[in-house]
Amino acid sequence: MAGPNGGYRRPTNPAPVSGPGQLSQRTDGGPQQVQVNMSGMPYGENAEFNTMQGMAPMSASPSARSPRASARSASAGGGMSATPLFAPTQRPDEPVTAGAPFGPGDGPSTQPNSSQQAIADAAIIGKYLPDLMSMAEQEDTPAGFKRFVRHLRNLQGA
């Protein structure tokens, strides 16, 4: 009367029961470490997680791959890889001092500073401010969210 999940299950590994003391044996088939499948991740990130997990050497894995070999195979297969240190430049027309306050090239004045960027972001977020303020007025709203909404509201006047 065993259902689909109940009843006796005969062990398929070396020994159904381990012996005592020095005669003991593993009953689970030996050391194994398998890759874990993650669920609930955004689309595409599970494959990236599995790739990183496959590159890490596992303690019981007989054929642990080195990260260098994995990087070489990824670059050969069209995956993303880091640019080697002594590779030719990917921006031949840009001076190495671009963005620095000295030397040829655009200086730091061409880059937006953090306060300018925050004001620009606040202007874009401004259309959501009424909804955010009503959410901040709820009883169970975290204090950090309330501070964030207050900060956005103050930036609107800047």
- DSSP tag of 110: G
| Closest to 70 in 3D by CA, of 56, 86, 85 | 56
Mean pLDDT of all residues in 74-93: 74
User: What pLDDT does 135 receive?
Assistant: 93
Tokens at residue 60, please? 């019981």
Tokens at residue 129, please? 């401010």
Task: Measure the CA–CA gap between 132 and 152, rounded to whole angstroms.
Answer: 10
pLDDT at 137 over 90: yes
List the alpha helices (DSSP H) in 56-157: 67-76, 114-125, 129-136, 143-156
Residue 65's pLDDT band (boundaries 50, 70, 90)? very low
**Which pTM does this prediction carry?**
0.29
- Locate the domains of the chain by residue range: 127-158
